[in-house]
Structure 1
Amino acid sequence: MKNREENSPFSMSFLDIMACGFGALILILLISDFSVTDEPSELDDSFSTYQNLLEQIEKKEFEFNTLIERIREEKNEFSSQSEKSEIMNKEIDEKSALLKKYVQESESLKRKLNSLQSVGRNQKKEISEAGGITISSEYLVLIVDTSPSMQGLNNKLPWRNVVRQISILIEAFPSLKGIAVMKDTGEYLIGRRGEWLPDNKIYRERIVKAISQANTVSNSNPIPGLSEALYHLADCTKDVQIFYVGDEIGQGVPNIDKAFEEIKTANSCLYGELKYKASISALGFNTGIYGANAYIDLVERNKNYLAFMRELTERFDGTLVVVPE
């Protein structure tokens, strides 16, 4: 009996040790904290950082691509601007060459103008030597006595001189806004009633030609022609000068004082700053030296004409020029 107890493997010491061990294990289990925490692990942090970096890289890559595209667009635009700049430079060069050409032409025209003005001054001098005329008006009306005494019965010598002096007179005006020409009867030699002819070389030549070919139907009466010019051409807004070209006062002219009153009424300005519609000047020809045999009293009528025109031109700010034969 005693031997059996001594040989048992589960002695009290062993059981005590096992009990203590289980108790310690239970105690450890009781004091340990196995609760689940929400704090991320280092791996989670690394993954989140990776995701953020990846997003930033994608964003930067998008920005980079956008920038590259913008650079391309600006490059294309710059190329286009360069092409435009080249075109503009070419146009500037062409316009510069054209401007240079215009300047050269302008200088040439200035020289021609100076030449014409010189000719005009010479012509003015030629006329002024016969009595003097102030040539500054913008519109010119020529009223020409085309009577037989002016044209000459046989040799036409007076008329050739008349045409020449009228041509010189027209050329003495370098630039006009309008010209009109008529007979002393009020009949227009060229153009229509009440209309100004343009001032150019062609019309000046046509005017001289029309005067040279005018017929001899005339009354040597300045009143109808002056009235036509004052009522239908001149007004109080234009700078008009009338030149009456003649040699005598015909039988149909009324009393001199009455004639002056008629012209004064026709030439008066009822509005504006001008006193008269037009200044009145005259060219006088001593045709009596050509036709004394045919017209016994022509020399005396020449004198009466000059006396009439001297008073008329003085009253209306004009000049009487007696043309030497």
Structure 2
Amino acid sequence: MKSRRAPIEVFSLSFLDVISCAFGAVVMLILLARNGDDGQFNDVNQVSTLLQSLNRAEANVSSLQSAIATQDAKLQQAQSSTASNQRQADNLASAIARAEQDVQALTDKSSGLEQIKERRQRAAISTNTTEQRDEEVGGIPVDADYVIFIVDTSGSMKAMWEKVLITMDEVLNNHPAVSGFQIMSDNGEFLLSTSSGRWRADSPSQRRTMLAAMRTWGGSSNSSPVEGIESALRIYGPKTSSLALYVLGDDYSGGSYDDTLASINRLNTNRVSGEKIARIHAIGFSRSNGQLTADIVKFSTLMREVTRQNNGTFIAN
């Protein structure tokens, strides 16, 4: 006989317990969830506001970057302007320095011209006066019928060439009229080779021509007047008994003073009468800054003695 099973009850007490516990857990989770922190970004409006703020911040950053770029451009422009202004200031300072040098040069030229004029007015000695120079006045005798200029054409003299030309003009004006004149370099070369060994006839136009030729004269020089003096005495000494040499220079590069003086005196002495053939004068030029160099001292030492022994005058210009 088959045993009968007890019927299964779905809604038994155990089942209800389980259901109740599960329901309670769900309720508890709901309660806990509602009492918890929802966070900052669970609201759509807040997210939208944050996005708008972010967009504005990005726009502000872009604007600031543009402003920074503009300021950088202005800074670079200002720096360029400053550099340009500095260059202009430097150029202006250089121009001022050059102007001051020009003023000083003009002042030196004016001073030299005034000195020459003063000496001429004070001390010019006319024809047929004493054979001895006046030591107190320092005048240059102007009684010669023929005149030769021996001019140092070295670089140091070319640096003050305008002063040399002014002096030449003044010395020529000391001689209202001569029978003839010539211009030679300190090496004995003629200013104009077409008249080598001959005299240039004296006239206002001839004087202007020779002075104009001197402006572009590129004659060679060894910064010693000895060769020019000796050449002039050899060529023109036998041709006249009324001769004057004017030596214009600033340097003497030669050796023994005694040997040089002996050579010049021998050439400048008439063998028959023992008298001097030519008066030898000298004008010594100094640098525009007044610096007294060893070369100038040597030239002055030599020419003072040459002029003293040959009835001439030495003038420091």
How high is the TM-score relative to the length of structure 2? 0.55
Question: What are the ranges of 5 or more consecutive residues in structure 1 without an aligned counterpart?
Answer: 1-120, 153-157, 293-297
Asked if residue 277 in structure 1 is aligned to residue 291 in structure 2, the reply is no
Runs of 4+ in structure 1 over 4 Å off:
126-131
- C-alpha distance in 2, partners of 1:236/1:143? 18
For the residue of structure 2 that corresponds to 1:188, the secondary structure is: coil
The share of aligned pairs that are identical, in percent, is: 27
In structure 2, the CA distance between the partners of 1:313 and 1:193, relative to structure 1 (3 Å rule), is same
Contact map agreement 1:127 1:169 (CA 8 A) in 2: no
2:191–2:219 Cα contact (<8 Å) kept: no
Tell me the residue number matched to 2:206.
Answer: 203
1:318 correspondence with 2:312: yes
Q: Distance in 1 between matches of 2:250 and 2:181?
A: 22
Confirm or deny that 1:141 pairs with 2:148. Answer: yes
CA-based RMSD: 2.6
How far 1:126 moved relative to its partner? 7.5
**1:304 corresponds to 2:298:** yes
C-alpha deviations, 1:80-104, integer Å up to 9, x for none? xxxxxxxxxxxxxxxxxxxxxxxxx
For structure 2, the 5+ residue unaligned runs are: 1-116, 125-135
In the aligned structure 2, how far is the partner of 1:234 from the partner of 1:180? 13
* Deviations 1:194-217, CA, capped at 9 Å, x for gaps: 211100111101111122221163
Residue in structure 2 matched with residue 238 of structure 1 by the alignment: 241
Q: Residue 222 of structure 2 corresponds to which residue in structure 1?
A: 219
Partner of 2:261: 260
**Cα distance in 2, alignment partners of residues 249 and 181 from structure 1:** 19
CA deviation vs aligned residue, 1:257-295 (integer Å, no higher than 9, x gap) = 111111112112123x560211100011112627x6xxx
Structure 1 distance, partners of 2:164, 2:258, is 28
For residue 28 of structure 2, what is the aligned residue in structure 1? none
Residues 249 and 305, structure 1, Cα contact 8 Å, conserved in 2: yes
Tell me which amino acid in the other structure corresponds to 1:276: K
Displacement, 1:167?
0.8
TM-score, length of structure 1 as denominator length: 0.54
Q: For each residue in 1:217-272, what CA deviation from the matched residue of structure 2 results, as whole angstroms up to 9, or x when unmatched? A: 3111111101110000122742000000001112xx1311111111112112123x
Aligned amino acid, residue 125 of structure 1: Q
Distance 1:264 1:280 in 2: 10
Q: Distance in 1 between matches of 2:207 and 2:191?
A: 13
| Cα distance between partner residues in 1 of 2:219 and 2:156 | 9
